[in-house]
Structure formats: structure tokens, C-alpha cells
Chain A
Amino acid sequence: MLELLSGFVGELRSAGLPVSLTEHLDAARALKHVPLEDRDALGVALGATLVKSAGHWPAFETAFEVYFSARLAPRAQAGEEGAGDVPPKGSRAAPRSCPADAPPDAAVTPEGAGAEPMSPTELASLLLQAMRRGDPALAAALARHAVDRYAALELGRPVGGTYYLHRTLRHLDLEGLLQRLLEAERHERELTALEERLIADEYRARIAALRKAVEAEIRRRLLLDRGARALARSVRQPLPEDVDVMHASREELAALQRALQPLSRRLAARLGHKRRHRRDGAPDFRATMRRSLSTGGVPVEPRFRHPRPSKPEIFVIADVSGSVASFARFTLELMYAISAQFSRVRSFVFVDGIDEVTHVFERADEPGVAVRRIMDEADVVWLDGHSDYGHALCEFDRRWGAEITSRATLLVLGDARNNYHASGAWALQGLRRRARRVYWLNPEPREYWGSGDSILAEYAIHCDAVVECRTLRQLERFVAELA
């Protein structure tokens, strides 16, 4: 068991969790106090000793499942079929055509559902029933069956199973399932809006549970095939703050969105604290003399003026075309969430044309809402809707250049992929002469800078710093420095 634990701790460390030696020892001691065959208790013991941050929990859960679940099967799945069963291939007829009011066939027990091959229509109607009744045992059995039928696992390939999951779920058509469930409810009786909403949320929760069951089932099979160590490597998920924003999947983006709010709150608290407590003000000669009276005119204790760090005025110029749009969104949202730390934040977005969007933020209550609206309201396309940094920067200089003063800090967000247009770097040069600072944040990895149509080098010489900003962690660090 201790060896297994060491392997598990190693896996957590490679997933990016900071697990110290003390914590490892604590975990080992905790194991003495819980029944090892109880999977949930084991999870609690390891989680409490090894994971010290809520954001790390998903990574822990994944690793835990891979390392311990197959060994300690949860009660419902115990005694299930063995390792070698290759799912039947070629039986991939889509069950979509299933009518909504399929006849209820309540005679089928969960056990029966797992064993007999079913037609897609049967499977779909059973699924509908399982969902309506909220029967977890039946749902679990169906999840197993669905994986048998649709996932078409190719054993021996080093993949993480996401592909199989998508394939299975596509056939189960969960979105359609929800619609059918709701229709069935509506069919039975009149629903008020409130009731309908509540019922829909209930079904959503049940379907989410089904999805989880399918995922767990796929994991379990891959695990039997390849062993914990290998599988852990391929299902390892980066922590939210380490996700590459440019290449994040939809789920990852949602996780980032959730991580952003506490992050900005923390950042604001920290910056406010820093501002209040910094002690590096200039010496205050008069106060020092006054104080020295109590020590007979000897200035024993020097006094300092309260520092009054000036709040910078921030101009954010963000490329919102295709690939870098999500990065721009996060950065804008973060800047506005901590806008109390700046005297003013003004924001501009561009693709090949440029438009000011400050008013969108000022009107909206929340930065999140505003960011979503920007994409609809701003007038950013000038010619063809491909990024043109040159034109955008020249345009910015022409229309708002006069407002750039020595208090202004300029942030340009983008990958500097200019689609072979003219760079217009002279505009940036002019802006830099007037502004306090010019920073360029690039969401691309440093290795790619200057490759292909990226002309970052031409702009970089006119910036105070060019910062690689691929993850929330890097972004947080940069913003903390800035304020």
C-alpha cells in the first residue's frame, strides 16, 4: 500500500500539485485510521492530507480514480465482467430516430440491461426511463452498455479516452434526451415556468451524472488495459491556472472563467494591501524634527512621508480576432475586475479596424457581461476581418493618440500575426515617446514569436517589455507587477 501511495504522490506531483514530504507522511499516517477497502474513506483521507487547494481537487480526483478505483471497485460495480471483453464493433447505428413516447418497458431490471444486446432504440428508451425515474443503478448499467456498444475502444493505444467519451456521448445524444424528457413532462400536465425550470435542472443533474458514469466506465476499461501509471499520464489535466488560454477546450475555458473571479478578488486584496502598507515614502524632515524633541533634539527615529503611489491610467488595446480572442477576453475582464487599482481603464479592441469599448464596461454591472457584449457591439472590421496590427495602431494613434500622456500605460494584447500587412511600427514608436510605459502581452509561446507572419520583433523594439502570457498564472503575475 505504501508503494502504491508513493506512486500516487509521484503522479500528483507530475500533475503540478505541490505535495511536500510532510504531507506524504501525513497521508501514510492517515491511511492507518481508515478502512482501506472503503474507497470513499480512502479518498477523504488522501484528499485531506495531500490536496491543499480547491483548484487542485479535479486533478486529484482524476488521479485518484485512476490509481485506486479499479483496485477498490465501488459497491455498485463489483463483480462485473472481466478485462478482455472487446466491445462489438460495427454496431454503431445512431439511436436518434427514437420517438419521444417510446413505450415504457419497466420489466427490464438493471442486471438484464447489462447482459443482453439491445437495439439502439431499446437502449434509448431505457435511458429515457432511467432518467425519468432517477434510477442510478439502471443508469450505471446503461452507461456500461453504451460504452460496450459505442465507444469502440481500441485497446493498446496511448490515448486518454476523451475521444471515446465523445463518441459514446454523441450516440447517446444527451441534449436530445433532455428535450425528450421535458416534452414527456409537458405532455403529462401543464407546467408553470418555475416548475419547468426546476424539472429541467433536475434532469440536467441526472444527465450529468450519467455522463460521469460513462466517463468512469471508459477510464476503468482503459485502466484494465494499460495500467495506472500509463493511463495517469494520458489523462493528466493541467491545473486551471496552467491551462494554455489559446488552446483551451470549451470545458477548460469554463474552468478558467470560474478561476478568474477568485483570482481577481485575491489580486485586488493583495494590491490594496500593498498600497496601504508600503513604507518606502520619502523622508519627512519636519516630522522627524518634531519627533526629535522628545529625545532632546537628536533625530533617533526618522519619519517618512506616506507614500502616495500614483495610479496608472491604463489603455488596453486588444486583438479580438479568432485565436487570440479568448485571451483578450480574460485579460480585459481581469483588468476591469481590479480597476479600482488604476485611476482609469480604457479599452480598445481591433481586428483590422479599431473601436473604443470603454463605455460597454461602464454601462454593464459586471465585466463578464460586458466582455460578452463587446464582440457584438464593437465595430472592429475595416476591410476583410483579418488581423491588421499596422492599420489598427495607426488608427489608434490618429484618433486617440492625443490622449496618451505621461501617466498612461499602454497594454497591447495580441500575437502580432499581421497577415503580411505593413507593420505600422512607427505609430507605436510615437505612442511610446508620450506614454509612461508600453507593454506587449503575447499569448503565444516564446518559441513561436517571429515565426510565420508574426512580426513581433518589429514592435518589440518599441515596447518596454514583451511578456509571454499563456496562462492565468502568468497573467496574474504580470498584472500584480503593473499595479
Chain B
Amino acid sequence: MKGAGRLEGGTFGSIQEVREGLGRVGYVADERIAGVVYLARRLGKPVLVEGPAGTGKTQLAKSVAEMAESRLIRLQCYEGLDEAKALYEWDYRKQLLRIQAEPSAPSWRALEADIFSEDFLLTRPLLEAIRSDEPVVLLVDEIDRVEPETEALLLEVLSEYQVSIPELGTIRATRVPMVLLTSNNTRELSEALKRRCLYLHVDYPGLERERDIVLRRVPGIAEELADQVARIVRSLRSLELRKPPSVAETLDWARTLVILGIESVDAASAADTLHVLLKYRQDIERAAKELLAADA
């Protein structure tokens, strides 16, 4: 892929380097995450990151941007997102002003060429990512929230890295941006979109990785406590809860424990702080019953 070469200096040399690079900016990546990020860079393809809420999908994009020293451009998706919000919009107020500013009417042709020039274009995230001269990471967050029809907006950007504007022509990317799309999987995305992306499923991390994440992200936590936290969270996830604790909640809990000065979690301190980890009353009751039965 042309243009892919420019970013792949030191940090994108191999899977291992990507992994270490992400580690340096505080993201604990496993082999798969690092591998997919590496391939995305090499093949110049977008990555579709799917998985339960709170497993660090958005954080991954932020960390990749930080690691590649690129600007992060974020497009938050929501129901009702349209072209004008995602791609570009003509600044019609400015256009009107321009027309009124000149009392002697110029020829229409000249005027048209003038008011449909780049000066009057409002760039929205997708176009901005394409036009940027500096390296960028484009994050399309929660893509599953837009209507299936709106997904099609993205297709040209994602596969050709270009945007067609009828009045201006086609704007091509000067350099291939790194694109990450996240989805919480509330609906099935279209085949066309999936085909254009590499796919990465981010699930709850395993014991070791979760412990590393806690150690990395919670300042001042002792290794034993981090280990204990990771173990308890793993046990909680094995229960059938309405909402299993996410990584973000694990971190919150670990921070809570550190602030409270708890060095080792016992049943009582766990029961007192469980509400940081679980957000449904039934889940809390269930967890207290299953995990802390004897002492609660």
C-alpha cells in the first residue's frame, strides 16, 4: 500500500515492537492486539475492534495515537449522524456573506467557483483525517450506533482513503491514516464494512494480563494486591452476572482499595467496596452470597 511506509519507522517494525511500544505508553497489549495493530499499519487497512463495554477499545486507539506520536481525530457515532456531521459541510453563512459583500455582481461562474472553494468548506472528522498533513489516527467510536444506511458513508473513506465532494472533486489522503472503529456489538454490522476491515475481538483479559494492567495503571499498588484484585475479578466474571465487571471497573476498584489503604482484600473490605465493581443490586447480592458466603 502506498504511503504506508511513512509511519512505520521504529515502532511498527514487528509485532514485538508494537507490543513494546504500546507498553511504553501504558497499554498492556496481548499478542493478538499487537499483531492486528501491526498488520493494520502494514496493510494500510482499518481495524474493527469489537468486544464488551469497558475492555479498553477506545483506549487502544488513544494509545496507538500516542505511541505513533500522531494526532487522534475522533468521530463519536450516534443515531442520526449524517454526512454533514461526519464528512464535510458547506459553510453557507460564509457563502451568503461573500455574495452580499460584493455589491457589483460578478459573473455567476466566477462567483460559483469562488464560493465552492476550500475556504468555504467545513471539514468534519472524516475529511479532516484524510486531509491532514501530519500523521493521524482516526477513531470512529461506537460505529454500531449509527443506522445501517449511514454506515455506507464510511465505505469510501475506509477502502480508498478518499472523499468525493461533487463541487470540488475527489480529495485523496496525502498519507494513509491509521483507522480504528469500535463497536459494542449491539447490532450486526454490514458485510461491506466488515470486509474492508481487519477484525479484532477484545474480550475480558486473562488473569496475568489483567494483573499487569492494574499494576500499570494504578499508581502505588502493591503486587500482591493487584494479583488478588485480578483473581477476585476473574471469579466474579465466572458467575452469571447481568453485567460482569469491566476492566475500567477493575481499575476503579483497585484505586478505591489503594485510597482506602487496604493492603489485602478480605471478605469484609470486599463487601464494602463491591459497589464500585458491580452496578446492579442483584449482581452485588449474588456476588456477596457466592464469594463471601461464610463471613458476610
Contact = CB atoms under 8 A, between A and B. Distances in A.
B235 A198 contact: yes
B168 interface: no
Contacts of B43: 26, 29-30, 33
Interface in A141-162: none
B200 interface: yes
B199 A26 contact: no
Given A29-B43, A193-B293, A22 B187 contact: no
Given A54-B201, A198-B231, A201-B231, A45 B39 contact: yes
A202 interface: yes
A266 B187 contact: yes
A110 interface: no
B2 to A, nearest CB: 14
B74 interface: no
Nearest to B196: A22
Nearest to B50: A54
Interface of B: 15, 31-32, 35-36, 38-39, 42-43, 45, 47-48, 50-51, 147, 185-188, 191, 194-195, 197-201, 203, 207, 228, 231-232, 234-235, 238, 240, 242, 265-267, 270, 282, 290-295
A273 interface: yes
Nearest to B33: A44
Contacts of B39: 30, 33-34, 44-45, 48-49
Interface in A1-45: 18, 20, 22-23, 26, 29-30, 33-34, 40-41, 44-45
- Range, interface on chain A: 35 or more
A192 to B, nearest CB: 6
Nearest to B45: A26
7 tightest CB-CB pairs across the interface, nearest first?
A44-B35, A193-B294, A52-B194, A48-B198, A33-B42, A54-B201, A52-B199
B3 to A, nearest CB: 16
Contacts of B38: 33
A34 B13 CA distance: 11
Contacts of B187: 266, 269-270
Residue of B200, B203, B235 ringed by the most chain A CB atoms within 10 A: B235
Contacts, number: 108
A51 interface: yes
A47 B32 contact: yes
A197 B129 CA distance: 50
A192 B32 contact: no
Given A29-B43, A33-B43, A194-B292, A44 B266 contact: no
B234 to A, nearest CB: 6
A179 B42 CA distance: 50
Contacts of B290: 197
B198 A194 contact: no
Contacts of B291: 193-194, 197
B199 A266 contact: no
Contacts of A366: 242, 282
A262 B50 CA distance: 13
Nearest to A369: B240
A265 interface: yes
A95 interface: no
A466 B147 CA distance: 33
Contacts of A262: 185
Nearest to A23: B195
A368 B286 CA distance: 15
A201 B235 contact: yes
Nearest to B42: A33
Nearest to B241: A366
Nearest to B193: A52
Nearest to A265: B186
Given A201-B238, A202-B231, A269-B186, A192 B294 contact: yes
B195 A22 contact: yes
A48 B195 contact: no
B204 to A, nearest CB: 12
